A = this chain, B = another copy of it.
Amino acid sequence: MSDFEENVSHLGEFELIEKIKEMIGKPGRGELWSGDDAAVVHAPEGNLLLTIDTVVEGVDFDLDYATGEEVGWKALAVNVSDVAAMGGRPVHAVASLSVPPATRTGTALGIGRGLATAADRWGVSLVGGDVSRSSEISVTVAVTGRCERPVTRDGASPGDAICVTGTLGGAAGGLAALRAGRGRDFPDLRSRQLLPEARAHEGIEIARSGAHSMIDVSDGLAADLGHLLREGLGCSVHPNRLPIDPSLVTAAPELGLDPLTTAIVGGEDFELLFCMEPDRTGALGAELTAGMTVIGEVTEGHAAIGGRSLHEWKEMSWDHLRSR
């Protein structure tokens, strides 16, 4: 039987773990990865970053349009993005995979392969994990990182330039395309949604440049910008400066989307949003492979993007739990 004919109940928990273990790398000297009660690794020196995130079938992904590989990749990427948003370098990952017994073996192994591929992409050691039974597929990944100077969400001051890497709105555009059954027609948007690129290298460069505060754009620009503005701070962001994903601009009419709203409210772009002294933005921009755009400035007034307050924009955005 091929991996695609059988399901994980035929394979069994231990064999599934064995097969996934074959996909991951080899431990360093004195280290012990998967196969014991806990992994043993060398502790990073100085600050240790820790983050954890779960992706759930039917909420964060849908196997009608995502492969197992893509699910695994994204589960790891979102954690790497969190480490990048602190200005850190991701070091280790552990993963917990929950699958219904009727899950195709090929899907479960695909998730393992996606985790391993993404780990390799960002130089992360995938050192261990766990498989459980469940009624829906979910993948939880915890990542460690190291950093010299953590860049937190607090720290912005009036007059700071507000900057963002890369482009916005592509991931939400991709989700809209996939939900409309048109993922193949818009491969760039599809990739933005299913195979996000965490800005690992950029996060380190931004921290080195002395940025005052940073977050990754997971809940959408309006929501995440709000997290960078402590009480008493506002912002002035210019809609015509927003780096809207060019593929989204092209696809928007066919997908029935407003590109600007999608770029402001759509989540999961995993770009880095940060505040820094305006006169240092030019030098930094030249360093960042993903590019960066100054989209506005921190003020002492209202928090607004164009004519709408952040609050008004956020009301359009997505709270995982709130009923609508």
Contacts and interface: CB of A to CB of B under 8 A. Distances in A.
A60 interface: yes
**In which size bucket is the chain A interface?**
35 or more
B11 A321 contact: yes
A98 B56 contact: yes
Given A9-B322, A96-B140, A127 B37 contact: no
A135 B47 contact: no
A321 B135 contact: no
A125 to B, nearest CB: 10
Interface in A6-20: 8-14, 16
Contacts of A83: 37-38
A49 interface: yes
A36 B128 CA distance: 25
Interface in A36-93: 36-56, 58-60, 81-83, 85-86, 88, 92
Interface stretch (A113-121, A142-150, A172-180, A284-292): A142-150
Given A48-B41, A54-B96, A321-B11, A136 B133 contact: no
Contact of A132 (B11, B30, B94, B320): B320
A152 interface: yes
Given A94-B52, A127-B50, A133 B40 contact: no
Interface string A89-127: 000101110110100000000000000000000000001
B86 A40 contact: yes
B127 A320 contact: no
A323 B101 contact: yes
14 contacts: A36-B150, A37-B82, A37-B216, A38-B50, A38-B88, A43-B46, A52-B130, A54-B96, A54-B130, A54-B134, A56-B135, A131-B320, A140-B140, A144-B144
Interface of A: 8-14, 16, 30, 32, 35-56, 58-60, 81-83, 85-86, 88, 92, 94-96, 98-99, 101, 127-136, 138, 140, 142-147, 150, 152-153, 214-216, 319-323
